[in-house]
Structure formats: structure tokens, C-alpha cells
Structure 1
């Protein structure tokens, strides 16, 4: 299973990015191989539509879950329709590595 984690940087030491649609990177964690791939978010600077465009990006990978600090209202319904689980993490100091450890338990 693949999990997208919104990230402020492109290493496992980077912090979780609280924004879904405008995050800097998506860390794609494969729970079976434990591989982590960082994908730059091309929608970060979009004037509008960053959220739906980011949903299309991660859905094309495809992922089963997304971990982020928050999801916009429009995004929630899109992800529900795509059967992608949303996990909200409210601790801003968590790193990608911390989140992967939690997902691995």
C-alpha cells in the first residue's frame, strides 16, 4: 500500500507540511517495500485549484491514504469519492520519519 505524506522538504527529516494542496513535496511511502520517494508538488504556487490538482497527482500514483495537517472542504469529498483515506496530524513538529514509524506499527 502506498501512503502520501505532505512534506515541507525532500528528506525523511523534513517536517510534515500542514497544507495538502500547497505542500512543498509529497513523500510517497510504500508500506510493503518501506521505500520513500519524494515528489515535488507542481501545484504549490498555483493561483487556484491547487487542492483538486494535488488530488489528481496523488490519485495517479495511486495511494490509499494521505497524511496531512489539514484538508480543504472540497478536497474531502473528492478523496471520499476516490476511496482515499485522510489522516489528519495536528502536531506541526512531526517529521516524515516520525509519521512513517507510526504507520509501520
Structure 2
């Protein structure tokens, strides 16, 4: 099950970005391969509809869980319809690597 994490940058030392639709990057973690790839969020500067557009992009990556600091109201119903789990993470000081480590079942 691929996991998307909203990120401030494109490295494992980047921090969690609290914004879902307007985050800078999405870190896509694949537990089957233990690899993380980073995707620039093209919707970050959109005048409107950044959240729904980000959901569609993330869904196209095969993600089944998204970790972010917050999710907008428009996004919640779309994620529910797509059976993508939302996980709110409240520690913006954690790096992407630390969050991935917390998600990996040992």
C-alpha cells in the first residue's frame, strides 16, 4: 500500500508540510520496495481547486493512504469516495524519513 506524505522539499530530511492541496511536494513511499520518490505538487499555486486536483494526482500514483497536517473539506469526501485513508499528523518538525520510519511495521 503506497503512502503519500505532504513535504516541504524533495529529500528525506524535508519536513512535513501541513497543507495538503498546497504542499510543495508529495513523498510517495512504497513499503514493498522500501523506496520513496518525490513529486512536485503542480497545484500548489492554483487559484482554486488545488485540493481536488492534488487528490487526482495522488490517486493516479496508486496511493491508499495520505499523511498531512490538515485536509480541506472539499478533499475529504473525494478521498472517502476513492477509499484513500487520511492520516492527520500534528508534528511538523518531523522529517519525511522519521514519518516513514513510524509507518513501517517492523
Q: TM-score, normalised by structure 2?
A: 0.97
- 1:44-89, Cα deviation, whole Å (9 max, x unpaired): 0001000000000000111010000000011011000000000000
Post-superposition offset of 1:101: 0.4
> Separation in 1 of the partners of 2:91 and 2:75?
21
**Counterpart of 1:27?**
27
Post-superposition offset of 1:92: 1.2
**Counterpart of 1:74?**
74
**Counterpart of 2:100?**
100
User: What is the number of residues matched between the two proteins?
Assistant: 105
> Separation in 2 of the partners of 1:98 and 1:77?
28
Post-superposition offset of 1:43: 0.2
> Separation in 2 of the partners of 1:97 and 1:90?
16
Moved >4 Å (runs of 4+): none
Q: Structure 1: state its 5+ residue gaps.
A: none
**Counterpart of 1:11?**
11
User: RMSD between aligned alpha carbons?
Assistant: 0.5
SS in 2 for 1:101: helix
Q: TM-score, normalised by structure 1?
A: 0.98
